[in-house]
Amino acid sequence: MSSKATIDDGPARRELVDRLASDGFVLLHELCGSEMVKSVLGVSRRRAREVREALGDREIGIGSAAGYVEIVQRSPGRWDVPITPQQFGFVEHEMPWWWLISAVLGEDAEHSFSGVVSSEPGSPAQYWHTDSPHEAPEHRPAHAINVLVALHDVPMAMGPTECALGSHFLTNHLGNPSLVLDELIYQHAGTSPSSLVNGAQCPVPESVAEPMAAGTCLVFDDRLLHRGLANRSNTTRHVAYFSYRRKGYSVNTHFESQRSVFAEAT
């Protein structure tokens, strides 16, 4: 499910657009150069340190509703700190993946949010989940796309993201009454690739995870079933993310808290 990312010709790009639609994800090897990766990692570490210092020893639950505007604990030991493209020092439409985003979501696609997810050593694998719901009982083209950028080499021991191949066709709770929306989006222990096909005459989606070299990008449909794997190394894993939506789409299940860690710290 991967491709070399020095792709400039139309047919090769068309193939990636089609693969994203059919598989729900594509892996673009070393799309981002070393200077870009170094810059993003530096900004990410500085902002994460600032926010964690403001949080101090206060308790924070799991999930966006239990977090803060500036930090969410997605699962135990897995911290999500929002950072805007401007804070990263980027012009959105000059990102190396923008051609793929605009091909799928349109030239008027909008930035939703971006930041860094840091997975501490010993953090367990997440439960399988999607990031947003389907809009209609029938399958429609993607309404949101995510780009994950490895900010250093991420071997299997460090816990790269695992994807269920083609599962964005099967996560539609509007078309399958056996699926429960909250259990898809909010990391429920009973959700898995096999739970999507209970009683259905179709195979269980294949689970795919690969090590990621620094600068490699995982691009996936927001409705795809996926999870971050356990970090079994002794090093924190840092992955930047950039999320986009079709113009006019506004559902937010990513950052739901309205409280500020800085307001409470003063």
Structure tokens belonging to residue 170: 């099967």
Residue 255 in this model has a pLDDT that exceeds 70: no
pLDDT at position 254: 63
* pLDDT over 90 percentage in the chain: 78
Which amino acid is it at 176?
A: N
Question: For residue 2, what are the β-bridge partners?
Answer: 27
> Is residue 33 within 8 Å of residue 225, measured between CB atoms?
no
Which amino acid is it at 243?
A: S
| Helical residues (DSSP H) of 24-170, grouped into ranges | 34-55, 85-88, 98-105
Alpha-carbon dihedral sign for residues 191, 151, 209, 173:
positive
- Tens-place pLDDT, residues 62-88: 887 888 999 999 999 999 999 999 999
Distance CA 133, CA 184 (A): 8
Sheet containing 161-164: order of strands: 207-208, 161-164, 226-228
**Does 257 or 13 have the greater pLDDT score?**
13
Q: What is the CA radius of gyration of the chain?
A: 18
How confident is residue 5, by pLDDT bands cut at 50, 70 and 90? very low
DSSP-derived secondary structure for 175-191 = T-TT--HHHHHTT-TT-
Residue 3 in this model has a pLDDT that exceeds 60: no
Distance CA 102, CA 12 (A): 16
Prediction pTM value: 0.92
Distance CA 166, CA 221 (A): 10
